[in-house]
Amino acid sequence: MSIDGAQHETLRSLLGAWALDACPRREAAEVTQHLADCPECAEEAARLRDAAARLSTDDPLDPPGALRQHVLDWCLARRPAELPVPPWAAPYATESAKLDALLRDLGPDEWHEVAELPWYGGVQHWRPAEVLCHLAAVDGLLAPALGLPDPVAGAPAPAAVPARVPPQNVLAQAAEPFEQVLPRGGGQQGGGPLGVLERTGRLMADRAGSGPAAVRAMWRRQSHALVRGAALKANGGALVDFGFASVPLRDAFVDRAFECWIHGDDIARAVDYPYAPPVPRHLRSMIDLAARMLPLALAVLRRPQPEPAGVGGPAPRGRVVRLVADGPGGGEWLIPLDGPESPPDHAEPIASMVLDGLDFCRLAAAHHGPDHLMVGEFGDRAAIREVLRAAPLLSRP
């Protein structure tokens, strides 16, 4: 049977979906019939089918570097997604898929390994299923903005939060400066929204009788629902209520991608599993969010030590430090030192600091200490050290 060029191109554009068994039945039949008459398309379809087979969920996930993305890009270039994921949700979609791949490869004994999760002021010691409960509990704060159920709603209060932590988070003591960015600590108590640790404890208690596979399935369903919900809120302007602050959905998704990566890496270290950092464009969005939050962390860092009355002149204003994040996803940011407002136009930095972008992210996650980083310093070193000391305050368990 002969077909015209337009019909040939139409059927050829379906090969990626056909290889993934994603075609409707009628289209799949048309493609199959076409492959019998077109050696060129048959050869391409065979290559794609072979690649798709290597992505099977029944096999250990260890494909060559960019194979999965290559197949998906090929498919999407020929048939755009009906419900595309907005760019601000793409980091979370990628990091949650990467973590799910790690979880699928865990053996029974590895689910009982204990991961260390450093944060500002302490270290959590959780097994992978408990880490997933923590991620799901905090991700659930995005649910109301997307019209989704909160997994913590209705979960019973545990006798005690199953975590070894200090009694308070420094940022929770001074939450009121965090008006426009994601807060990093406990929320209101006494009938108000639950704090991060209490939400985590409730979900852990609620899932205490579930096996790792069931906990993973719960987290996986929720992460898929969040990504789909984001696709229906394409502008990302909806607000997420974190108890003592409301933040734009687009920033909340980047934050959740950041924590998914960091805690996925925590699990990977516990089980000796190779775990790649975020791709450069996603890493840049995470660095950008942390850089925008630094002025507020600086404000919290200074609160316990106010300037004595009558000492010194007027408080300095308008000072900025240039932050240069090196490596993939890097860039430059001007960090206001004297308040969360934007730097004044043409502000001349009093200092510049250069460090690896991944090191900066791990510093913001309190997985690196400010005194153990390779940092290029130029200008006012005291200002640079203050910025480095403030960055770990952005972390939370």
Same domain? For 293 and 383 the reply is: yes
The whole-number pLDDT of residue 281 equals 93
Look at residue 85 and tell me if it is in a domain.
Answer: no
Same domain? For 193 and 97 the reply is: yes
Same domain? For 53 and 111 the reply is: no
Sequence letter at residue 89: A
Host domain of residue 151 = 90-276
The whole-number pLDDT of residue 316 equals 63
Cα–Cα dist 231/188, whole Å:
30
CA angle 245–249–251, rounded 5-degree value: 80
Cα–Cα dist 244/234, whole Å:
25
Decide: 391 and 290 in contact? Cβ < 8 Å: yes
Decide: 114 and 102 in contact? Cβ < 8 Å: no
Claim: this prediction has a pTM higher than 0.85 = no
Look at residue 336 and tell me if it is in a domain.
Answer: yes
The whole-number pLDDT of residue 5 equals 74
Look at residue 84 and tell me if it is in a domain.
Answer: no
Cα–Cα dist 237/308, whole Å:
41
Same domain? For 152 and 256 the reply is: yes
The whole-number pLDDT of residue 262 equals 96
Look at residue 389 and tell me if it is in a domain.
Answer: yes
Count the domains in the chain. 3
- Tens of pLDDT along the chain (397 residues)? 456 677 888 888 888 888 887 778 888 888 888 888 888 889 888 888 888 766 554 444 445 545 655 666 666 566 666 678 889 999 999 999 999 999 999 999 999 999 999 888 788 899 999 999 999 999 999 998 888 998 888 777 665 544 433 333 323 322 222 223 333 333 333 334 567 888 889 999 988 888 999 999 999 999 999 999 998 877 777 888 766 567 899 999 999 999 999 999 999 999 999 999 999 999 999 999 999 989 888 888 776 554 544 444 555 677 899 999 999 888 999 999 887 666 666 778 999 999 999 999 999 999 988 888 899 999 999 999 999 999 998 886 5
Q: Is 240 helix (H, G, I), strand (E, B) or coil?
A: strand
Look at residue 310 and tell me if it is in a domain.
Answer: no
The whole-number pLDDT of residue 280 equals 93
Q: What is the largest CA-CA distance in the chain?
A: 93
Cα–Cα dist 383/27, whole Å:
63
Of 124, 132, 127, the residue nearest 108 (C-alpha): 127
Domain boundary pick from 78, 98, 119:
78
Cα–Cα dist 113/273, whole Å:
12
Same domain? For 53 and 112 the reply is: no
Decide: 105 and 61 in contact? Cβ < 8 Å: yes
Look at residue 349 and tell me if it is in a domain.
Answer: yes
Look at residue 83 and tell me if it is in a domain.
Answer: no
Same domain? For 100 and 199 the reply is: yes
Same domain? For 253 and 271 the reply is: yes
Cα–Cα dist 372/389, whole Å:
11
Of 242, 257, 137, 143, the residue nearest 198 (C-alpha): 137
